[in-house]
Structure 1
């Protein structure tokens, strides 16, 4: 069995040989990254780790047979950088929120309420469309025209008569 060191040396002349190193260690690097930063970010760390390793393969100490410590060291640095960037983004976000006035937070709440209302309207449209035509007409006369129950009752028979007459 070839050592990681031999694979890396061979990849200097045959870059495609580096894929063997990926096949050998990707699962372990991904597990390490997943444990540290979660599944979604781990995929980025994994690919970036092997990209960095490929670019820096000439710097690998060929006296060391296993590349695993080297790869995990690269992954660790990438994870630290990822976390530092994430922390900076969260601090920036928190600062921008704290600078906003209360009315801006009120605007955000209003916007969220509008989104919730739009969802409910879509649900209501479906339910209203499923009503029998007579019931739908009575509901809309009440809700949209502001008619009382008695006015709706008085309107409904006339509407049926007009349809029958037409």
Structure 2
């Protein structure tokens, strides 16, 4: 596996503000420059993979994401100033190589949280008090994890790269190499299935409860059928 340039390498003052595309272009002649991209996005990519596959897998796949990106830097489109969609696309493809592991993890989270909730009533004081908050949090994740596990992989990718990767529709389309219309359609169907499974709630929806693009898609879907 090709090694990355030294992570955390020092760069000239002011270069932190240059665009991702400029960093990548500069790294073609100066490989150490690529470390700036790692500094900017490694934590986000790790967090995204960890939510899908767990922390242990994320440690390896985050590093692999940047190794692959480094190897492909000569093919990066310099007209795209932000590299986030590109990196999330690589990360999502790596997650895709572990579909069964992801589904197993989601089902296990669902079972574990449900079992913890069921055992709460049998716990003696003060142990029950100490674990009550943890059990409550686990219980709140049980149903969503189970519902996510049942989604088709292509729908789950769109949903989670937007909800957990914080990409917009255009960025998700770039990351997954699909048309924006396909992103909208898959996201709408995924969230519809989640709401049906969770009694109308959607833990992946924006925190403020608004998503104008999603509302527009719902309107179009209703008009068609």
Of Structure 1 and Structure 2, the greater helix share is in 1
TM-score between both structures, scaled by the size of structure 1: 0.50
TM-score between both structures, scaled by the size of structure 2: 0.37
